[in-house]
Amino acid sequence: MLIGVLIGKEGPGREILRRCLQGTYQPLISNTLFLEYEYASLRPRIQKLCPLDENEIRELINAFYSVCVWVPIYYLWRPNLKDEGDNFLIELAVAGNAEIIVTNNVKDLGSAALSFENLQIYKPEELLRGERK
């Protein structure tokens, strides 16, 4: 979600990020997600689409990291998502005892062969409207 927020000038993702920075929501991060954010934020295409300059991007990402809880992942659940590269997001949520994953990729994350009853997947606008609770 963070990369989508960088390239959008406004929208529900930005409000979710704002609430994370204010302490309303507690984001989780793992080494894998950290590396994905780092790699994606340095892509020329992403930087070109972002209304922030390179230094502002770095400041915003670092501010986000500062409010994240770093979660070590010791066990790989392999929920067998459509995009195998997204499995780590479910594993992070399970390892961090998360109740919610906020993403625009609800369809792919919701199609896991292995599901977790207490884990909900919301789009940013759904979380903000209080839907799907």
**pLDDT score, position 86:** 74
Structural domains in the chain? Answer: 2-129 (3.40.50)
Helix (H, G, I), strand (E, B) or coil at 122: strand
The mean per-residue pLDDT over the stretch 108-117 comes to 66
Query: Which residues on neighbouring strands pair with residue 120, listed in sequence order?
Result: 100
pLDDT tier at 133 (50, 70, 90 boundaries)?
A: very low
Which tokens go with 126?
């759904």
Question: pLDDT tens digits for 5-31?
Answer: 888 777 899 999 999 999 999 999 999
Angle between helices 12-22 and 54-67 (to 10 degrees): 60
Mean pLDDT rounded to a whole number for the chain = 86
